[in-house]
Structure 1
Amino acid sequence: MKRLDVGDARIAYTDEGEGDAVLLLHGSFTADWFTPAGRRLAAGHRVLNVRRAGYGGSEDLAGGASVAAHADHAARVLEDAGVRRAHLVGHSSGAAVALQLASTRPDMAATLVLLDAAFPYAPDEPKHPAMPHAVEAAAEGDYERAFDVFLGGVGGPGFREVFVRELGADGLREAVAGSRYFFTVEGPALRAWDFGRTQAAAVTAPVLLAVGGEGERLGTAYRARAAQLASWLPDSQTRVVPGAGHALPLEDPASVAAMVEEFAGGRRG
């Protein structure tokens, strides 16, 4: 594990494998969303797996890292590793960080693979009935119930078993503990993020928008958000991952790794 002091945060990251660089930007709750897929990708790529501020031992020293700050931390990791350009892979809130980085530092982005991008909102998206209950539980200080309601709502009832299978019981406990940071710090920062058609126009890299096929059955907004992003990003394509919910990097890490390899192939970092 490497550690980098960036002023407003202390960032940990792993650097494994050789070849074109892939930068992994995980979603909320845990820094290990991409750990299983990252191991597979490292067989043919140099994989930088960032543990974003607030998660997995990386410290948010400012106490309220914005999406722009997370993107700056990612850029600093690339610079620290001596990587000028990488394939950016982001899941959920990490997809927002990848978009921010690609729009402000297009020179650093060879491609983007965005899995169930959590933001920005789409005007026609469905309103998920579980979300107000998760926010209510967090406001009452019951972060474990907030975790269960949120991820059960977007990932389906078996999500805890998926965490344990891929990350072990300790990995699940760490994700539950990360619920506090998500609901009190990261969630508000994401809602305050300003990203629209103007910012998207600065993205020059090809983009793959991947969405879990179970999302529509569960009533999530990720398909609508991907459609809005696609309308702003002319060099983009959308792919539905059959049978997957919002926990898709852990539900099927082999397919996620293969998807990244396929999309990045022929587009050198």
Structure 2
Amino acid sequence: MDTATINGIELEYEIRGAGEPVLLISPVLADSFVPLVAEPALNRDHRLIRYHKRGWSGSTHTPGPVPVTTHAADALALLDHLGIDRVHVAGHSSGAAVAAQLAQDHPDRIATVALLELALLSVPAGEAFFAQAAPAFEAYAGGEPEHALALFLSLVGGMDWERCRTLLEERMPGSVEQAVKDADTFFGVELPGLAEWPFGPDDAAAIRQPVLSVLGSRTLPLWVEVAAFLRATVPDVEECVIDGVGHLLHIEQPRPVAEALARFLAAHPVTP
């Protein structure tokens, strides 16, 4: 990957394809968009930019918690470094939080927003999710980062760890090992920053760009509730449900996700 020096840190990034720019923002798995960018439906007509947020993989690690607003500022600085004035942005889970923050902070720079199961922990179902995830947090606190990630990814993915690990290694070789290396970032930096993110109805209503909300049909109640929240609060929102998948939707079924994104982006070009 290439490296950009911005905001006093270094971010790793990679660009694939040509056409209208799309910034892709990942959560716990630094390379989770790899299967998606390989899909011709998306890379044929778009310049896909994926990067490692601060703290992930080879990007600079800084003490936590790192607020969502800081990640959004980093993303904007990366766009500046690349000379990109206006862009589509897509994020998954906590990466979707960064995408939503970018849309609020810089409406002149963001053409559209695609939210793949936005991680919004303040909705009522967030408390139940934290209770379900408690064993993962306990394992991490007990010095077992690999076990903690196995528990967490199995929970959000809706599958046992053997199947989940096999899926991740098939689609993104080396991703599990890297996720274990990034465990301190996820549990000690990313989640605390996300938990403090104040995204309410007024914030959602402030997003005036076209928004695509993408949901897996087998996902957890948390993301069903978040989708309902977006439906009720975002002024211009479209919805897409990917059949037969959970929270790891763009890893399990990258083709239908890529096709849905491509249709959405074609309908809302950067330059009308």
The TM-score with structure 2 as length reference comes to: 0.91
Cα-to-partner distance string for 1:182-225 (whole Å, 9 max, x where unaligned): 1111110100111112222321111111111111xxx4411101
Note if contact 1:126-1:221 (Cα within 8 Å) is conserved in structure 2: no
Note if contact 1:159-1:247 (Cα within 8 Å) is conserved in structure 2: no
Note if contact 1:11-1:52 (Cα within 8 Å) is conserved in structure 2: yes
Aligned to 1:32: 31
Aligned to 1:107: 108
Which residues of 2 match residues 196-211 of structure 1 at below 5 A? 196-211=200-215
Cα distance in 2, alignment partners of residues 266 and 213 from structure 1: 24
Q: Please report how far the alpha carbon of residue 125 of structure 1 lies from its aligned counterpart in structure 2 after TM superposition.
A: 5.5
Cα-to-partner distance string for 1:27-68 (whole Å, 9 max, x where unaligned): 11x211101211323222111112111112111335542110
Please state whether the residue corresponding to 1:84 is helix, strand or coil: coil
Note if contact 2:32-2:251 (Cα within 8 Å) is conserved in structure 1: yes
State yes or no: 1:191 paired with 2:191: no
> Which one is further off, 205-214 or 8-17?
8-17
Cα distance in 2, alignment partners of residues 7 and 267 from structure 1: 31
State yes or no: 1:5 paired with 2:5: yes
Which residues of 2 match residues 32-71 of structure 1 at below 5 A? 32-40=31-39, 41-71=42-72
Aligned to 1:90: 91
Aligned to 1:162: 167
**Unmatched runs of 5 consecutive residues or more in structure 1:** none
Question: Which letter maps to 1:162?
Answer: L
Question: Which letter maps to 2:67?
Answer: S
Shift in alpha-carbon separation, 1:244–1:38, aligned structure 2, 3 A: same
Aligned to 2:229: 228
Note if contact 1:125-1:225 (Cα within 8 Å) is conserved in structure 2: no
Cα-to-partner distance string for 1:106-150 (whole Å, 9 max, x where unaligned): 112111111111114212557135311111111112111111111
> Which one is further off, 39-48 or 206-215?
39-48
Cα distance in 2, alignment partners of residues 27 and 55 from structure 1: 9
Note if contact 1:230-1:236 (Cα within 8 Å) is conserved in structure 2: yes
Aligned to 2:265: 264
Note if contact 1:106-1:202 (Cα within 8 Å) is conserved in structure 2: no
Note if contact 2:210-2:268 (Cα within 8 Å) is conserved in structure 1: no
Note if contact 1:119-1:225 (Cα within 8 Å) is conserved in structure 2: yes
Pick the aligned partner of 2:185 from 150, 166, 181: 181
Cα distance in 2, alignment partners of residues 62 and 133 from structure 1: 24
Shift in alpha-carbon separation, 1:185–1:126, aligned structure 2, 3 A: closer
The TM-score with structure 1 as length reference comes to: 0.92
Cα distance in 2, alignment partners of residues 220 and 227 from structure 1: 11
Note if contact 1:36-1:166 (Cα within 8 Å) is conserved in structure 2: yes
Cα distance in 2, alignment partners of residues 177 and 10 from structure 1: 18
Cα distance in 2, alignment partners of residues 54 and 194 from structure 1: 22
State yes or no: 1:145 paired with 2:147: yes
Q: Over the residues paired in the alignment, what is the CA RMSD in angstroms?
A: 1.6
Note if contact 1:103-1:199 (Cα within 8 Å) is conserved in structure 2: yes
Aligned to 2:80: 79
Aligned to 1:214: 218
Q: 4+ residue runs of structure 1 moved beyond 6 angstroms? A: none
Cα distance in 2, alignment partners of residues 179 and 166 from structure 1: 20
Q: Please report how far the alpha carbon of residue 259 of structure 1 lies from its aligned counterpart in structure 2 after TM superposition.
A: 1.4
Question: Which letter maps to 1:39?
Answer: A
**Percent identity over paired residues:** 34
Note if contact 2:103-2:207 (Cα within 8 Å) is conserved in structure 1: yes
Cα distance in 2, alignment partners of residues 68 and 160 from structure 1: 31
Cα distance in 2, alignment partners of residues 179 and 194 from structure 1: 24
**Unmatched runs of 5 consecutive residues or more in structure 2:** none
Please state whether the residue corresponding to 2:186 is helix, strand or coil: helix
